[in-house]
Amino acid sequence: MSTLVWFRNDLRLEDQPALHAAAAAGQIVALFVLDDEAAGEWAWGGASRWWLHHSLASLDADLRARGGRLVLRRGDARRIVPEVASAAQVDQVHAGRAHEPWLRALDKDVAGQLKSRNVRFHRHVSALLLPPESIKTKAGGDYGVYTPFSRACFDVLTPAPLLPSPTRIEPAADLGSDRLEDWGLLPHRPDWAAGLRASWQPGEAGARQLLARFVDGAIDEYDQRRNLPADRGTSALSPHLHWGEISPRAVWAAAAEKSQMRGVGLQTFLKELLWREFAAYLLWHHPDMAETPMKPAFAAFPWRDSTQDLRAWQRGQTGVPIVDAGMRQLWQTGWMHNRVRMIVASFLVKHLLLPWQLGEKWFWDTLVDADLASNAASWQWVAGCGADAAPYFRIFNPVLQGQKFDPDGAYVRRYVPELSGLSNKFIHAPWLAPKPPAPSVYPSPIIDLDAGRARALDALKTISKSGT
């Protein structure tokens, strides 16, 4: 009897529990369904579609190297998965568990249809370290704050051997497949993707190379280097983790095994992995988190409406160098350093008083690691309306942030080259230079930072008065 493996955000062979379980049963149908409608407004953005194209090509090559192949189908997964299961005469379907609300709803429908056909549907913990519903407070409730959540995770996480990649895959009968090229996932403007191609190697092999480089080097100084955007002090594994090209268990195990320091650097990195878990945990318990503030008082927050300011922010033309550098890095590479993500987000929602959902949507379309849970949780944290958002009136000063974390201006000069001639003293505040850049070279700030801060604090008083 054949077994169907329904790949989603687990595009790998090693430590892939759905594939491992299916391989033990005999012949395998490896299926990926491109369901353009299931996610609604949260359908994949341009950067994600670019990554998905190359990740699927890599997965198919890895399967073929072991005798298998990837079946591609486009359309309603509620219809396609049961149809493929019937055509292949499988008695089991294995898939990774999902925490996105639309995938949870889709899984429920697919499970019902498969059951009516006497096909068992097995879902495995594949994208996370732990099932979200399994972490409870001592009173049996749910966590709303990261620190106690992370402690609870550390208490229950125990090392376990990784599931090996199958050496041989016995394919089922040929069911036919769409051509990946016909899906149109790649951008119509190839020049836009040039920076993505230069920055990333989607697929399991690329993920493993990046992990090896990180644990052999930067992890031991991670606590100091992770905040320096000009440095390669982070793992940059987020897109590989999002697409499941490497499992969080594999990352955790490699970090713990290879780290020489086994102290602050390692612990800080593991806590970052647990922040990813916490974001998924929050989405599991708050499925509307991507649209609705977790703190109800923020539903009436006096946001501004300015298409001009939003566009300047998106294009990296705000006149604030560290903000513009981050937004240009995002556009060019599909990724942004985490410290800078906080800076640009704070600038949008605090200094410009534009709704956090607008920033969240832009990140969703331009990030190669656009993960609904992490994206929403992070934007709500910066806006002050999510978990761990105390003090909610925190406002990053982008000049001070740049001076502290990019002291020699290397990051700004890389992505805002028109400022490369400025001294370190003025690189983060060019308007203070004896000869500021002409507006035709680099724009003046679109907001006076002190005035923007004062305006944000006045707006935030409406939240404090509400008792939140």
Q: Give the closest residue to 82 by CA, choosing from 26, 9, 23, 31.
A: 31
262 Cβ contact list (under 8 Å, min separation 6): 256
Structure tokens at 369: 């690691």
* Domain identity same for 227 and 373: no
Q: Which of 268-293 are b and which e, b meaning 16 or more Cβ less than 10 Å from the residue's Cβ?
A: ebbebbbbbbbbbbbbbebbebbebb
* Domain identity same for 357 and 331: yes
Beta strands in 146-239 (DSSP E): none
pLDDT exceeds 60 at position 261 = no
Question: Does residue 96 lie in a domain region?
Answer: yes
Domain end call among 285, 315, 337 = 285
Catalytic residue, chosen from 83, 338, 418, 431, is 338
Q: How confident is the model at residue 217 (pLDDT cuts 50, 70, 90)?
A: confident
* Domain identity same for 135 and 120: no
Q: What is the largest CA-CA distance in the chain?
A: 77
Catalytic residue, chosen from 275, 313, 331, 335, is 275
Question: Does residue 403 lie in a domain region?
Answer: yes
Range of the domain at 101: 2-126
Active site residue 362: no
Q: How confident is the model at residue 265 (pLDDT cuts 50, 70, 90)?
A: confident
Catalytic residue, chosen from 6, 335, 379, 381, is 379
pLDDT, tens only, 414-461: 999 999 999 999 999 999 999 999 999 999 999 999 999 999 999 999
The domain tally of the chain equals 3
* Domain identity same for 140 and 242: yes
**CATH number of residue 271's parent domain:** 1.25.40.80
Domain end call among 82, 103, 126 = 126
Question: Does residue 179 lie in a domain region?
Answer: no
* Domain identity same for 149 and 65: no
Q: Give the closest residue to 326 by CA, choosing from 347, 349, 353, 356.
A: 347
Q: Give the closest residue to 335 by CA, choosing from 154, 189, 185, 195.
A: 195
Question: Does residue 440 lie in a domain region?
Answer: yes
Question: Does residue 181 lie in a domain region?
Answer: no
Active site residue 303: yes
CB count within 10 Å of CB 159 equals: 10
* Domain identity same for 269 and 146: yes
pLDDT, tens only, 149-191: 999 999 999 888 999 999 999 888 788 999 999 999 999 887 8
**CATH number of residue 54's parent domain:** 3.40.50.620
Catalytic residue, chosen from 44, 183, 192, 303, is 303
Catalytic residue, chosen from 192, 221, 252, 272, is 272
Question: Does residue 56 lie in a domain region?
Answer: yes
* Domain identity same for 133 and 232: yes
Domain end call among 126, 141, 174 = 126
For the residues 264-271, what does the mean pLDDT come to?
Answer: 87
For the residues 30-45, what does the mean pLDDT come to?
Answer: 94
* Domain identity same for 74 and 115: yes
Active site residue 51: no
Distance CA 289, CA 296 (A): 12
Question: Does residue 291 lie in a domain region?
Answer: no
Unique residue bearing structure tokens 């937004």: 327
For the residues 53-79, what does the mean pLDDT come to?
Answer: 97
Active site residue 275: yes
Catalytic residue, chosen from 42, 200, 331, 356, is 356
Question: Does residue 264 lie in a domain region?
Answer: yes
* Domain identity same for 259 and 385: no
* Domain identity same for 224 and 133: yes
* Domain identity same for 63 and 149: no
Chain-centroid distance of CA 152 in Å reads 23
The pLDDT of residue 468: 47
* Domain identity same for 364 and 378: yes
Active site residue 50: no
Active site residue 331: no
Structure tokens at 377: 């949780």
Question: DSSP string spanning 358-426?
Answer: HHHHHHHHH-TT--HHHHHHHHHHHHTSSTT--STT----HHHHHHHHSTT-HHHHHH-GGGTTS-TTT
